Amino acid sequence: MLLNERVALITGGGSGIGRATATLFAQQGAKVVVADINAASGQETVDSIQSAGGEAHFVQGDVAKLAAVEAMVRTGIETYGGLDIVHSNAATYAMGTATELSEQEWDLTLDASLKATWMLARCALPQMLAQGGGVFVITGSVHALRGYPLYTAYQAAKGGLLALTRALAADYAPHIRVNTVLPGAVVTGLWDPISEEDRERIAQMCALKRNGRPEEIAQAVLFLASDMSSYMTGSHVVVDGGLSSIMMLPDDISL
């Protein structure tokens, strides 16, 4: 019960890493506010938690809109009387090079994947300060560490999240801890357009020779959200099966 009686808000909680984290947090005693733009999948997460004996509440909203983010935070406070943990997890992206992306695609990616975290901080941190402290965890990506073709906007957003992590940690220490988890190749709904052949190719780029599961990222988020990481802030944890730590070469090339 690492999060016993703590109130946690998780964006993008209807699927993937968000759902896995919401489920794990509830198992660890948290009261979970699940936020998602998709009402059906968000409610499914809540129903699953409640059927297992946990406490959860759903709120629908688009993290790219300030009014919706304000409503998410307000719902958590009104429903459970406070807010101890925020997991800024929701994201979206449009693929393309700098010359291929439209302004709309760039703005959508940056709004949902970077600006949303600032908006969550703006709305949630005052409540945490009023309570005497809290924890803010961000889902970043190994895209913040390495370049990958055709992900210009997404990599800009995820790189910005690392800088934002340090800024928030500096501004709100010692009362609020802010850290980021950097997943690698984790199979979520964002992978739906990726073929099985490409999924296997990506798996072979990882030292562990497989793609990750959302539940494996949720374990790292739990670490950052709980007192197990009590001496960490302004930092990041890479959970990528070795994807960003090695250089894969074609079979016919050796150094």
Please give the Cα distance from 3 to 83 (Å, whole number).
12
Q: DSSP H helical segments within 111-190, as ranges?
A: 116-131, 152-172
- Report if residue 249 sits inside a domain: no
The predicted pLDDT at position 255 comes to: 45
3-state secondary structure of 45: helix
The predicted pLDDT at position 72 comes to: 97
The predicted pLDDT at position 148 comes to: 87
Q: How many domains does the chain have?
A: 1
- Report if residue 1 sits inside a domain: no
- Report if residue 36 sits inside a domain: yes
- Residue range 65-124, pLDDT digits in tens: 999 999 999 999 999 999 999 999 999 999 999 999 999 999 999 999 999 999 999 999
Beta strands in the chain (DSSP E): 7-11, 31-36, 55-60, 85-88, 134-139, 176-183, 235-239
CB burial readout 45-58, b (16+ within 10 A) else e: bbebbeeeebbbbb
Look at residue 254 and tell me whether its pLDDT is greater than 60.
Answer: no
Where residue 18 sits, what CATH number does that domain have?
A: 3.40.50.720
pLDDT band at 141 (very low <50, low <70, confident <90, very high): very high
Residue from 80, 93, 154, 172 carrying the catalytic annotation: 154
Predicted TM-score (pTM) of the model is 0.94
Please give the Cα distance from 163 to 167 (Å, whole number).
6
Nearest to 156 by CA among 141, 169, 170: 141
Give the phi and the psi of residue 159 in degrees, each rounded to 5: -65, -40
- Residue range 208-243, pLDDT digits in tens: 999 999 999 999 999 999 999 999 999 999 999 999
To which H or E segment does residue 19 belong? helix 16-27
Give the pairing of strands 176-183 and 85-88: unpaired
3-state secondary structure of 88: strand
Residue range of the domain that includes 27: 7-239
Look at residue 145 and tell me whether its pLDDT is greater than 90.
Answer: yes
Please give the Cα distance from 4 to 197 (Å, whole number).
42
- Report if residue 227 sits inside a domain: yes
Q: Is 154 considered catalytic here?
A: yes
- Report if residue 156 sits inside a domain: yes
- Report if residue 252 sits inside a domain: no
Please give the Cα distance from 192 to 163 (Å, whole number).
29
- Report if residue 244 sits inside a domain: no
